[in-house]
Amino acid sequence: MTVYSSNIGYPRIGEKREWKKALESFWEGTLEEKEFKEELDRLFLEGIRVQKEAGITHIPVGDFSLYDHVLDLLWTFDLVPDRFKNVNKTPLETYYSMARGTDGSEAMTMTKWFNTNYHYIVPEFENVTPSLKENRFLDYWKKAKQKLGVNGKVTLVGPATLVLLGKGYKETEKASWIQRLIPLYQQLLQQLDAEGVEWVSLEEPIFTSPLDQEVWKVIENGYAEIAKSCKNTKLLLQTYYEAVSDYKKVLSLPVDGFGLDFIHDKGETKEQLKKWGFPKGKVLAAGVIDGRNVWKANLTETSAEVKELLNLIDGDLWVQPSSSLLHVPVTAENESLPSFLEGALSFAKEKLGELKALESGIENNTSFKDYDKSFEAFVAAPLRHNHKVQEEIKELAQLKATRPPYELRAKKQQEKLKLPLLPTTTIGSMPQTKEVRRTRLKWRKKQITDAQYEQFIQEMTSRWIDIQEDLGLDVLVHGEFERTDMVEYFGEKLDGMEVTKFGWVQSYGSRCVKPPLIYGDVSLKEPMTVKESIYAQSLTNKPVKGMLTGPVTILNWSFPRHDESKEVVMNQIGLAIRQEVLALEDAGIAIIQIDEPALREGLPLREEEKEGYLKAAAYAFRLSAYGVKDETQIHTHMCYSNFNEIMNTIDDLDADVISIETSRSHGRLLQAFEDFHYEKEIGLGVYDIHSPQIPNEEDIISNIRASLRVLDEKQFWVNPDCGLKTRKEEEAIKSLQVLVKATKKYRASLIVEA
């Protein structure tokens, strides 16, 4: 038995987000296709080179992508919806049209990849005829082999996960669609096998969820057929994010190795292994380094666990991350952080070093005490602990954090706000132009003064208040021009949190975010948004929303501390946000939006754990708004979620108005409101801001009309489905013009009917 190092996936964005810049330049037409492909090839090979130089034995290829690894597989199997075919576009333009939409063709649905902040393109299986169209996985493998001499481990999403995360089929057709794709996987693997690929990893994170017997039968037969396709290539079945739901069934599949998560499994995987054993002679690819967080591993403890695993198997063991390193920043080498944090961090590149250290250290019986000292010093740092906050958390045991009945609040709010039927608003952010980003960078580099920067922010705010008034929106926003990101901004201002300089991770497409580090007890040190909100409200007689990010989203879009429960951290953040809410109310802000777009993505994968999380999340949100006056209207926003299964939680938030991203899945969400009687006010996004396409009036009216079939007109707000930060100014203005015009037209028709 031998220990080897392995990786599941590496960040594709580059150390300085070169990948993002290349994509956006190509989309804007400032980078030709030839140069664009050359730049992406360079970035792909750079990622392979870094892993090779780190000494990783099994380096993944196929994890790199032109946009999204699921979309790549859809393209490979020609699972291209009809609306993107027969158009005058190059193959690359068609590929991006699937993700971003095009004139007359709505983009494919995008949603969260399991319980992460990464978004994938949802497969559509309606009216498609799959075939092996193009083997990009083989192309990547050849490049790595020819340019760097790396016989990479080809990695791609497996058939069960691909189908079961898709849509466009009846519930009874799940198994048949898996069966239908098996021959395509066989063809693809035969091509890889013929070229000399040593290992192929089929990623099946769906195996962390329970599957019905009919589906399992097809999976078992399908994997038997797939295995026959490989004469020399070996197959690894890779799972992550949790322990597998049915250990015995998964480990009975005819493959050569199994990748299992030993970090986010709550100890269950090891117990399964002890109870049921492990197939003799097969590889255990053990996820023992956290692929989703940025703290250094305790290699003394990790090496002891690896040695224990070695005693439980009869075959080789690969040490690897618990999941793809796509979820963490590229490297900590370029950071300049407080000294107590510097020795505590391990990003993707550093995690490769940890894997290699384990591989060689276990073989040579090396001590890791020196490596672990820096993290032990971080754990003991006094700055991590705030006894006042800890006492406040203890006192919450007696607090339900509820407000008076909604009916009472709604009446007082309407008397104060006097909003029209079908009020129009936006979600919060307005376009962050190059000028905005450039000016912020100058300020950070101290090339302009604080006063000059504040004046610029006020000028942008004033300009967009005027634009919104001219458009005729009913409830305005200040635009958030002072904010880089809806979580990073608060991470800079809350004690117990720190923001990196280059700690970018991919969220969707070219969209990258910098999750803050939650290193200790969280508290509010000074008002964060009051000054900007007061200024914006002074410019207009219309209500301007105070804009905050909620405690659940701040937690889920940050890298959390390793030594405290999610519930405690959410409540700490909730208490801090509550102070800000009350300060905004005292300043005369009548509508306060506490955004929770990430509420559902923190949902555990296991059914039995969901209720506890949802109750804790709803409590933390209510805590953040606890104590406001009845006439203060509390809004929230949620996006990219399957809401049907959490309607009780949405109600339990007790927000006066909730806006929900739904433009790419409008019909499915409306079904949720048919099944659940929701009494509070709600805005269902009537157009997709993630597409550069300008919506048309008829589609918006159609979405409003469809919504009012299940919602009362007095409940309904009209808004885009998300913030407009990533859109160009012209796109945002034109889209909002259509939104307001369509709403006024429909509003007039309701008045006539009445």
The alpha carbon of residue 648 and the mean position of all alpha carbons in its chain are separated, in whole angstroms, by 23
DSSP E strands in 439-590: the ranges are 494-498, 505-508, 511-513, 517-524, 546-549
The alpha carbon of residue 209 and the mean position of all alpha carbons in its chain are separated, in whole angstroms, by 19
DSSP string across 351-384 = HHHHHHHHHHHHHHT---HHHHHHHHHHHT-GGG
Furthest-apart CA pair in the chain: how many Å? 83
Location of structure tokens 């990196």: 500
Average pLDDT rounded to a whole number, residues 532-550 = 98
Q: With the C-alpha atoms ordered 279, 282, 286, 291, is the resulting torsion angle positive or negative?
A: negative
Question: Is 230 within any annotated ligand binding site?
Answer: no
Alpha-carbon separation of residue 707 from 423, 672, 715, 736 (angstroms): 14, 11, 10, 19
Average pLDDT rounded to a whole number, residues 280-285 = 97
Check residue 623 and give its pLDDT. Answer: 98
* Least reliable range by pLDDT among 171-175, 437-441, 668-672: 668-672
* Least reliable range by pLDDT among 31-40, 360-369, 443-452: 360-369
Alpha-carbon separation of residue 724 from 62, 433, 731 (angstroms): 32, 11, 9
Q: What are phi and psi of 195, to 5 degrees?
A: -90, -10
Question: Is 688 within any annotated ligand binding site?
Answer: no
The rounded percent of the chain whose pLDDT value lies above 90 is: 86
| Amino acid occupying residue 192 | L
**Residue 685 in tokens:** 């996004």
Question: Is 607 within any annotated ligand binding site?
Answer: no
Average pLDDT rounded to a whole number, residues 467-493 = 96
- Mind listing the pLDDT tens digit for each residue in 405-435? 999 999 999 999 999 999 999 999 999 999 9
Distance CA(46)–CA(24), nearest Å, equals 20
Location of structure tokens 């979580």: 487
Distance CA(739)–CA(417), nearest Å, equals 21
**Residue 503 in tokens:** 């700690």
Work out the mean pLDDT of the chain and round it to a whole number.
94
Is 132 buried (19+), middle (13-18) or exposed (0-12) by CB count in 10 A? middle
Q: Residue 730: which H helix or E strand, with range?
A: helix 729-753
To the question of pTM greater than 0.85 for the whole model, the response is yes
The alpha carbon of residue 141 and the mean position of all alpha carbons in its chain are separated, in whole angstroms, by 28
Residue 45 CB: number of other CB atoms within 10 A? 18
Q: Are 324 and 259 in contact (CB under 8 A)?
A: no
Distance CA(754)–CA(748), nearest Å, equals 10
264, 327, 478, 690: the active-site residue: 690
Question: Is 661 within any annotated ligand binding site?
Answer: yes
The residues with which 345 forms a beta bridge, in sequence order, are: 295
| Amino acid occupying residue 256 | D
Q: Are 661 and 690 in contact (CB under 8 A)?
A: no
**Residue 458 in tokens:** 């006020």
What SS3 state is found at 609? helix
Give the number of C-alpha atoms closer than 13 A to the C-alpha of residue 257, restricted to the C-beta side. 24
Distance CA(358)–CA(56), nearest Å, equals 11
Q: Residue 121: which H helix or E strand, with range?
A: strand 119-121
- Mind listing the pLDDT tens digit for each residue in 236-270? 999 999 999 999 999 999 999 999 999 999 999 99
Question: Is 557 within any annotated ligand binding site?
Answer: yes
Question: Is 541 within any annotated ligand binding site?
Answer: no
What SS3 state is found at 617? helix
Using alpha carbons only, what angle is made at residue 57 by residues 56 and 62, rounded to the nearest 5 degrees? 85
Alpha-carbon separation of residue 443 from 119, 437, 450, 451, 485 (angstroms): 32, 10, 7, 10, 16
The residues with which 549 forms a beta bridge, in sequence order, are: 595
Q: Residue 753: which H helix or E strand, with range?
A: helix 729-753
Using alpha carbons only, what angle is made at residue 604 by residues 660 and 389, rounded to the nearest 5 degrees? 85
Question: Is 177 within any annotated ligand binding site?
Answer: no
Give the CA radius of gyration of the chain.
Answer: 26
Average pLDDT rounded to a whole number, residues 88-117 = 90
Domains, in order of start, for the chain: 3-382 (3.20.20.210), 387-391+407-753 (3.20.20.210)
Residue 178 confidence class, pLDDT cut points 50, 70, 90: very high
- Mind listing the pLDDT tens digit for each residue in 586-629? 999 999 999 998 888 888 888 899 999 999 999 999 999 999 99
Average pLDDT rounded to a whole number, residues 428-448 = 94
Question: Is 595 within any annotated ligand binding site?
Answer: yes
Q: Are 547 and 593 in contact (CB under 8 A)?
A: yes
Distance CA(448)–CA(444), nearest Å, equals 8
Question: Is 722 within any annotated ligand binding site?
Answer: yes
**DSSP assignment, residue 665?**
S
Q: Is 690 a catalytic residue?
A: yes
What SS3 state is found at 459? helix
Q: Residue 594: which H helix or E strand, with range?
A: strand 591-595
Q: Is the pLDDT of residue 667 over 60?
A: no
SS (H, E, C) 195-250: HCCCEEEEECHHHHCCCCHHHHHHHHHHHHHHHHCCCCCEEEEECCCCCCCCHHHH
- Mind listing the pLDDT tens digit for each residue in 322-344? 999 999 999 999 999 998 898 89
Buried b (16+ CB within 10 A) or exposed e, 386-408: beebeeebeebeeeebebeebee
Question: Is 637 within any annotated ligand binding site?
Answer: yes
Distance CA(208)–CA(705), nearest Å, equals 39
Q: With the C-alpha atoms ordered 36, 42, 44, 47, is the resulting torsion angle positive or negative?
A: negative
Residue 199 confidence class, pLDDT cut points 50, 70, 90: very high
Q: Angle at which helices 69-76 and 91-100 pack, to 10 degrees?
A: 130
First to last CA, the chain: 79
- Mind listing the pLDDT tens digit for each residue in 670-716? 777 777 888 999 998 888 887 778 999 999 999 899 889 888 999 99
Question: Is 242 within any annotated ligand binding site?
Answer: no
Check residue 640 and give its pLDDT. Answer: 55
Residue 267 CB: number of other CB atoms within 10 A? 9
Location of structure tokens 């002679």: 281
